[in-house]
Structure 1
Amino acid sequence: MNGSTILRGVQHYVGKIRTIRNEIRTQRFMNSLPADIRKDIGWPDMYAERRFRGN
């Protein structure tokens, strides 16, 4: 393995962590909204469907 391969692997790992943190932050924000607004935008349904599909 050369240095660029290792760097790409680290960048990929950091990118995944950043994505997970952003998803958690979005979930917290959406869950802090009033229930009627979450229902209007379809938050509970969309989130459950995404988790079921494994995305």
Structure 2
Amino acid sequence: MNGFTILRSVQHYVGKIRTMRNEIRTRRFMNELPQSIRKDIGWPDNYEGRHGRGH
């Protein structure tokens, strides 16, 4: 394994961690909104559906 491959692997891993943290932060923010607003924008139905399709 050369240095470039290792660097790409680390970048990929860091990117996944960043995505997970952003999703957690988004869920936390959205869940703090009043129920009526969450219902109007379709939360969590749209979000959960996205994950249910394997994305």
Q: Do both proteins adopt the same fold according to a TM-score greater than 0.5, normalized to the shorter chain?
A: yes
| 1:44 aligns to 2:44 (yes or no) | yes
**How far apart in 2 are the matches of 1:48 and 1:12?**
24
The answer for the alignment partner of 1:35 in structure 2 is 35
Runs of 4+ in 1 over 2 A off after TM superposition: none
TM-score normalized by the length of structure 1: 0.91
Q: CA RMSD in A?
A: 0.8
Identical aligned residues as a percent: 76
**How far apart in 1 are the matches of 2:51 and 2:43?**
12
Can you give the 5+ residue segments of structure 2 that lack an aligned partner in the other structure? none
Q: Choose between structure 1 and 2: higher helix proportion.
A: 1
**How far apart in 2 are the matches of 1:30 and 1:52?**
19
The answer for the alignment partner of 1:18 in structure 2 is 18
Q: What secondary structure is seen at the aligned counterpart in 1 of 2:4? A: helix
